[in-house]
Amino acid sequence: MSDGIQQSTILVVDDSESNIEMVLAILDNYDVIPATSGKDALELVESEHIDLILLDILMPEMNGFEVCKKLKETENTKDIPVIFLTAQKDEDSIEAAYLTGGVDYVTKPFKPVELLARVKVHLELQHLIHKLEYLATRDSLTGIYNRRKFFELAEKMFSTYDENLYAIMLDIDFFKRVNDEHGHDAGDTVLRKTTEIISNLLPSTSVFGRLGGEEFAVILTASADEKVIHLLDKIVSTYANTKIAISPKQEIQCTLSCGMSPRYRYTDSIDELLKEADAALYEAKQTGRNRRVIRAERR
């Protein structure tokens, strides 16, 4: 069994207690949460992390198809794979199971080997999808968001927050010298350490990405400009005071410059917001580096 899938949490939804007992016995190697109605299941997916759902079709009040439809309509639950449990083997039911978004179906009475095999296949697939998603959205060197994912999430933040939204552009000062004087491995170490230092200081809801080379960007929300300015001062000073070990024997210190722009009334796109932050970064570079510059509101 591939790593991780045994720690998966499976939600089993069935109005029959005896069916639930059976599933629990068959899947006793997994963490299984039972629910006896669609309503309970929809509440549980809100509060628990669920990797896979086994869903009975025939249930009073809300049937399995209705539950599945709701799950697929909800952002947080739409990607959880659903395997239908059904006593019906007619083609219409099976077609409906797939049409509402199910990935598979298992017919009752359960054959333990079959149920186990299908659960395992779909958990492994899900695990693989998560891994691929991670690889597709991360910068391979630093593990923070890559450029494409950063812009996608930044765009989302921009459409969600009309105010209290901030863009920050950061750039390591004289980074070329690190590569020239100490080699590219040292450069990579500095880049990794840089993202680690910044990540540790950013609020957890920030979107932090590497745009390319030694350039990074952050989109975040805050209740007041002063909080972001304080954060930037902290980032600039912490960074300048951190010794980075580029080999067992050698430590170096770098500085970084950053530019920040709040979203103003006239800021009409995420590109414009980032451009304003970039202009502030440019000014920080022009006026001596190792500092932050805030883009003032235009009159």
Q: List active site positions.
A: 214
CA distance 50 to 31: 10
CA dihedral 183, 186, 187, 193 (to 10 degrees): 180
Nearer to Mg ion, 69 or 127 (CB): 69
Q: Which residue has the tokens 């198809």?
A: 65
66 binds Mg ion, rule: CB under 5 A: no
- Helix (H) or strand (E) segment spanning residue 33: strand 31-35
CB–CB of 155/202 below 8 Å? no
Q: How far is the CB of 123 from Mg ion (least distance, A)?
A: 23
- Give me the least distance between CB of 36 and Mg ion, in Å please: 10
Cis preceding-peptide flag for 112 (omega within 30 of 0): no
Coil vs helix vs strand at 217? strand
**Residue 56 in contact with Mg ion, rule: CB under 5 A:** yes
Any contact of residue 15 with Mg ion (CB under 5 A)?
A: yes
Residue 40 interacting with Mg ion (CB under 5 A): no
Minimal distance, residue 104 CB to Mg ion, in Å: 18
Q: Does 55 bind Mg ion (CB under 5 A)?
A: no
Q: Judging by beta carbons within 10 Å of its beta carbon (0-12, 13-18, 19+), is residue 172 exposed, middle or buried?
A: buried
Q: Which stretch binds Mg ion (CB under 5 A): 7-15, 26-34, 129-137, 214-222?
A: 7-15
Smallest distance from Mg ion to CB 81, Å: 20
| Stretch touching Mg ion by CB under 5 A, among 55-63, 152-160, 162-170, 232-240 | 55-63
List residues bridging with 213 in a β-sheet. none
# residues near Mg ion by CB under 5 A: 4
How far apart (Å, rounded) are the C-alpha atoms in residues 2 and 4?
Answer: 6
d(CA 173, CA 5): 44
- Measured CA to CA, the distance from residue 97 to residue 91 in angstroms comes to 10
- Closer to Mg ion by CB, 109 or 288: give it: 109
Q: Does 58 bind Mg ion (CB under 5 A)?
A: yes
Residue with Cβ nearer Mg ion (56 or 214): 56
Least separation in angstroms between residue 80's CB and Mg ion is 20
The upper half-sphere exposure of residue 248, i.e. CA atoms within 13 Å in the direction of its Cβ, equals 0
Cβ-based nearer residue to Mg ion, 19 or 77: 19
Between 86 and 146, name the residue whose CB sits nearer to Mg ion: 86
Using the contact rule CB under 5 A, the part of the chain among 14-22, 140-148, 198-206, 217-225 near Mg ion is: 14-22
* Binding footprint of Mg ion on the chain (CB under 5 A): 15, 56, 58-59
